[in-house]
Chain A
Amino acid sequence: MTTAAPTEWPAYPRADGRKGIRNVVAVAYLVECAHHVAREIAAPYGERGVHVVGFPGCYPNGYAFRMLSRLCTHPNVGAVLLVSLGCESLPREELQTLVAESGRPVQTLVIQERGGTRSTVAAGRAWVETQIAALADADRVTMSIDELTIGTICGGSDGTSGLTANPAVGRAFDTLVGAGGTCIFEETLEMVGCEEDLAARATTPALAVELRESVAKAERYSVAMGYPSFATGNAAGGLTTIEEKSLGAYSKSGRGPVHGLIKPGDIPARSGLYLLDVVPDGDPRWGFPNINDSVEIAELISCGAHAILFTTGRGSVVGSAIAPVIKVCANPDTYALLSEDMDIDAGRILTGRGTLDDVAEEICGLVAEVAAGRLTASESLGHREFVLGYKSFEPIGPACHPAPLPMAVA
């Protein structure tokens, strides 16, 4: 630790009252057939905050539409370019209207109406360059910790994840929520065995029932898929059972009260600690709910997360479009191998070079620095992974959230 972390920093004000810690131009493809054009439009501006998101499916999906709506109106996004092939079923006019109503510049390019790939790429780049120039002069306002939303995920877990990085993030969450911030944890698939402890932390008895049920749903879904959230690499790292891995994953949530249960695209109406349920409702029909970590990172961001604390034991290198990803490395051996991709060396707890509280303090300090503009390792390396697939959800019930959710999107 060198200088004290900032408690306030300049941020980008948005019409909905939220504030952004980045000012990204999002280029969104509305079907895989438009992905290449979107990628080509963004390619020259990798260092200048132009990020590609999108949905590959041609057939309609309410979840995917809601995800794209939330991501295109995320506080870290300053302008949006929609890239449509022309015959896909995602309702592009509706999406354009939503983004326009959020006060952001938005443009839609339809490849089939623009003369093809080359013409659309040229038109897209011209629009993006205009936006980059405009965003450079954007107004800034003061932002502080109590206006931040931070998500957490673990990926490439091993036996050290639950010893160092995860409980350190949990303590950081306790600190951030205590300072008035909003924190979101997820991975109900990795909480099997922890459901009673989780339920006991609910702020209301009705919420406790919902939390318990969300874990039971995750377990039913895993069994139906024939495979729990447990990869061969986990076993090689010394983890034997799903409940053992759960214990480690669950410790990222800290020890504070749980204020609500949300689903992808739900934005917490007030500060606190929230569980994000990413397991689809209804009969399992879309395959694995988390084909990789990037899906869950996008879902955390759709709930308003400004930045993500990503704990890893084996050593994930991914980042994300739209929100910075902070890598908290659990394993000192992995840190030594992959230090260029890591932000925090939490594994030093195991080698006597710090305590859980030291690492938690370092995490909170880095969160503030990243909010103030410092680039994370994955950001500076150009990682902007993004994955979105098919899912379906029922809206959350009144017991899940003590206050109404703003900005309802169908």
Chain B
Amino acid sequence: MAKLEESTLKSPTAAPAGDAPAPYVRLGAQDNVVVLARHVDVGDSFAGPAGEVWTMSAHLDIGNKLAAAPIAAGERVIKVGVPIGTATRAIESGEHVHSHNLRSDYIPIEVEEEHGDNRGAD
């Protein structure tokens, strides 16, 4: 760890608000989700790609997805320009996108619990 010079230290309040880079990356121009590049906590607030302010209601780790725009039930979810499944319910802009609202178009993942699928996965 580099030792900080005394003169370069700033008080937390000196940091300009809103100057931090967005905690997510958008991987494709057509994507309707963004991917977290670092974890977020409950109450964290930042701007989505369309400029609206998102406030997080849960702790989410790096790699999780947020809706970049409202997604209708039955709509394809697009990441890196490629469909990664279908929304099982309406998803709001900024909402966490995961197994509670996104389903594979290929093979259902058995860690899902919401669909009453009791084929025996634990």
Apart from A226-B120, A350-B62, A351-B37, 5 more pairs, CB < 8 Å: A228-B107, A235-B98, A236-B61, A240-B84, A243-B83
Q: Is B121's CB within 8 Å of the partner chain A? A: yes
* Closest chain B CB from A148 CB (angstroms): 29
Q: A160-B62, A226-B120 are in contact. Are A243 and B84 (CB under 8 A)?
A: yes
Partner of B63, one of A160, A194, A247: A160
The chain B residue with its CB closest to the CB of A189 is B107
Are B110 and A227 in touch, CB under 8 angstroms?
yes
* Closest chain B CB from A251 CB (angstroms): 8
B99 contacts which chain A residues (CB < 8 A)?
A: 235, 240
Main secondary structure of the interface of A (DSSP, over half): loop
* Contacting residues of chain B (82-122) with chain A, CB-CB under 8 angstroms: 82-85, 97-99, 102-107, 109-111, 119-121
B27, B62, B103, B106 — which one has the most chain A CB atoms within 10 A of its CB? Answer: B62
Are A219 and B106 in touch, CB under 8 angstroms?
yes
Are A244 and B84 in touch, CB under 8 angstroms?
yes
A223 contacts which chain B residues (CB < 8 A)?
A: 107
* Contacting residues of chain B (13-57) with chain A, CB-CB under 8 angstroms: 21, 25, 27, 35-39
Main secondary structure of the interface of B (DSSP, over half): loop
Are B63 and A313 in touch, CB under 8 angstroms?
yes
The chain A residue with its CB closest to the CB of B25 is A163
* Contacting residues of chain A (114-133) with chain B, CB-CB under 8 angstroms: none
Are B109 and A235 in touch, CB under 8 angstroms?
yes
* Contacting residues of chain A (207-244) with chain B, CB-CB under 8 angstroms: 219, 222-223, 226-228, 230, 232, 235-244
Q: Is B73's CB within 8 Å of the partner chain A? A: no
Q: Is A331's CB within 8 Å of the partner chain B? A: yes
CB-CB contacts of A259-301 with B at 8 A, as 1s and 0s?
Answer: 0000000000000000000000000000000000000000000
| Chain A interface, number of residues (Cβ within 8 angstroms) | 34
* Closest chain A CB from B115 CB (angstroms): 13
A238 contacts which chain B residues (CB < 8 A)?
A: 35-36, 60-65, 98
Separation of A194 and B102 alpha carbons in the complex (Å): 18
A352 contacts which chain B residues (CB < 8 A)?
A: 21
Are B109 and A351 in touch, CB under 8 angstroms?
no
Q: Is A333's CB within 8 Å of the partner chain B? A: yes
Separation of A351 and B36 alpha carbons in the complex (Å): 11
A226 contacts which chain B residues (CB < 8 A)?
A: 110, 119-121
Q: A247-B80, A247-B82 are in contact. Are A159 and B102 (CB under 8 A)?
A: no
Separation of A313 and B35 alpha carbons in the complex (Å): 15
Separation of A244 and B84 alpha carbons in the complex (Å): 5
Separation of A48 and B61 alpha carbons in the complex (Å): 42
Separation of A219 and B35 alpha carbons in the complex (Å): 27
Partner of B109, one of A162, A194, A237, A241: A241
Are B62 and A247 in touch, CB under 8 angstroms?
no
Q: Is A174's CB within 8 Å of the partner chain B? A: no
Are A350 and B38 in touch, CB under 8 angstroms?
yes
The chain A residue with its CB closest to the CB of B86 is A241
